[in-house]
Amino acid sequence: MATSGTTTFNLDIGDILEEAYDLCGMEIRSGYDYRSAKRALNLVFLEWQNKGLNLWSIEQNTQTLTAGTGSYALPSSALDVVDAFIRTNSGDVRKQFDQRLRRISRTEYNHQATKLNQSKPTQFYIDKNSGTSNIVLWSVPDGSQTYILIYDYINRVEDAGNPASNNADIPTRYLPCLTYALAYNICLKNNESIQRAPLIKQRYDELWDEVSYSDREKATVRFVPDLVQGRY
């Protein structure tokens, strides 16, 4: 049996727009249609970022802490932090140690009476605003040793941009879901295709469930029995 021997299939932005219009039973007839569809595509990217965690959009950042400074700016593309820890004795094979930080809410931080206390940080909260967000540590790092903050954050998906030959900033396995998501948004804006919207939405939801499940982290679950209570 002869096969192609390649695994490089992808769609550029222009292909995605055309495929979405095909699903709607329409075609791109004007510059306005193109601009409107690309705008809808960028809105889909934002919608997906609000849906939750996707492993492909996670990146890691490292920050050497400064004694007496408890707040550090996150990368401008960071949407949220999913995990963080403090490393001490970095590079020492015998002594390097990573301690996970517990995430707290703004309210919990505000109720912390000793905000200026300096020692090894054990907690953090994310101070979100319309500009650059900050990761705020408690306790404030002291100068007794070098602390390195390492955190995983959800990175914003890049815009569709120009030219149309650009690829979408997503894994190729998301392309079927993306085309249906865009088609659904296009249907809602066009009377001639609005009747297709329910079926397209149904397929979009199915594809999202499939691809988001496949993108979840797989790990072994270990149940430890409670010998005192006789429970798991």
Q: 125: exposed, middle or buried (C-beta count within 10 Å: 0-12, 13-18, 19+)?
A: buried
pLDDT at 56 over 70: yes
Taking each continuous run of H as one helix and of E as one strand, the counts in the chain are: 5, 8
Q: How far apart are CA 167 and CA 65, in angstroms?
A: 37
> Percent of the chain beyond pLDDT 70?
92
What is residue 138's three-state secondary structure? strand
Residues 202-214 have pLDDT tens digits of 999 999 999 888 7
pLDDT of residue 129: 79
Q: What is the mean pLDDT of the chain?
A: 90
The overall pTM is greater than 0.75: yes
Residues 148-199 have pLDDT tens digits of 999 999 998 899 988 888 999 999 999 999 999 999 999 999 998 999 999 9
Residues 183-197 have pLDDT tens digits of 999 999 999 899 999
